[in-house]
Amino acid sequence: MVEKRAASNGDASGGEANKERKGLWSPEEDERLYTRITRHGVSTWSSVAQLAGLRRSGKSCRLRWMNYLRPDLKKEPISKREEETIISLQKSLGNRWSVIAGRMPGRTDNEIKNYWNSRIRKRQQNTSASGEDGGSCVKRGDFAAADAKSFELAPAEEKKPFSSGGATAVAPPVPARFPLFACQLLGSGGGGGDAIAAAGTTQSTTTHENGASSESEVSVGGKDAVEDHYFYSAGDGADMDMVHLLGFDDLLDYQAGDLLMDGWDQSEFYCTNSGSSAD
DNA sequence: AATGGGCCCAACCGCGACTTT
DNA sequence: TAAAGTCGCGGTTGGGCCCAT
């Protein structure tokens, strides 16, 4: 879809040589940006644009990466369960889309905002126009308002970036800010190995027989290095030699157990590159 | 087959916050 | 402390797609 749009958007390398390009991204521009970031990471977005040879603003590059190229993005449509989560979080947090997106791995603020504006809000307007409570228009199932409580941010933790803004250098290929995932140690004999870690890496998504819908292995360096793995140093110092990223639905399931969603912000984890394809 | 209206989503814009110098 | 540079956010828009007529 985007490719189709981009293809009709003209030649990325043509036109006036020094004028900043706007509009849809071409596949070539995507490739340049993706390659640049996966190989060298992000120091500042304006330098990424420059070094990738793109006639785009840093801002535009950031947006493209965050909303489309990031390897950890979910490609599938927003599920019913995710929709319920969006509704609950919007109710408690308001239109703080980035915070809401931060609670939904693989989803972007833009995606959630668009989804809200185009579908949920409209539906709620329709139902409230027909005399119902707008907030309860969707059947909530097992995700009641009480569940939404566990998503709320502690005030002091709001807007806590992984690496602070400005020109913070980050080891490749992880972008300056990257999402948090709940992870599970492999070979630890069960749930005892649950941990939280940070990741900004490529996921090779696989569907497992146990029904976990989007369990993924973490790999490094995008397409060129799918065999490499990051090592994560957890808060207690324990190293994980491999982690599984869990899909959002899996995380909701964990609420019944030891791992709560709001645990995501309670620990800080640092990513070190163990082996690496970065040149 | 043509067309017009609504939907959806990628991307832009403007602004505030933060960092660096 | 101020200014400049950069980032990130929420609101908005433009245009392609889909579908009913």
pLDDT in tens, A7-25: 333 333 334 445 688 888 9
Residue A149 above 70 pLDDT? no
Percent of chain A scoring above 70 in pLDDT: 37
Covered bases, chain B (protein CB within 7 Å): 7-14, 17-20
Q: Determine the distance between A59 (CA) and B14 (C1') in angstroms.
A: 13
Residue A106 above 60 pLDDT? yes
| Beta-carbon count within 10 A of A70 CB | 18
A172 compared with A95, residue with greater pLDDT: A95
Contacts of range A142-145, beta carbons closer than 8 Å, 24 or more positions apart: A143/A81, A143/A84, A143/A85, A143/A88, A143/A252, A145/A88, A145/A91, A145/A92
Q: Determine the distance between A82 (CA) and B18 (C1') in angstroms.
A: 32
Stretch(es) of chain A classified as CATH 1.10.10.60:
2-10+20-69
pLDDT at position A245: 34
Instruction: Find residues whose C-beta atom lies within 7 angstroms of strand C.
Output: A 1, 4-5, 8, 42, 44-46, 58-59, 62, 95-99, 102, 109-110, 113-114, 117, 161, 165-167, 176-177
Sole residue written with tokens 């992000």: A42
pLDDT in tens, A37-86: 988 888 888 888 888 888 888 889 988 998 888 888 888 888 888 888 88
Q: Determine the distance between A40 (CA) and B21 (C1') in angstroms.
A: 25
Instruction: Find residues whose C-beta atom lies within 7 angstroms of strand B.
Output: A 1-2, 5-6, 21-25, 59-60, 63-64, 67-68, 77, 110-111, 113-115, 118-119, 122, 159, 164-168
CATH topology of domain A2-10+20-69: Arc Repressor Mutant, subunit A (1.10.10)
pLDDT at position A43: 85
Q: A239 pLDDT band (50/70/90 cuts)?
A: very low
Domain A80-152 classification at class level: mainly alpha
Q: How many residues can be counted in chain A?
A: 279
pLDDT at position A220: 27
A231 compared with A7, residue with greater pLDDT: A7
Q: A103 pLDDT band (50/70/90 cuts)?
A: confident
Q: A135 pLDDT band (50/70/90 cuts)?
A: very low
Residue A160 above 70 pLDDT? no
Q: Which residues contact A211 (CB under 8 A, 6 or more apart)?
A: none
pTM of the model: 0.56
Q: Determine the distance between A128 (CA) and B12 (C1') in angstroms.
A: 32
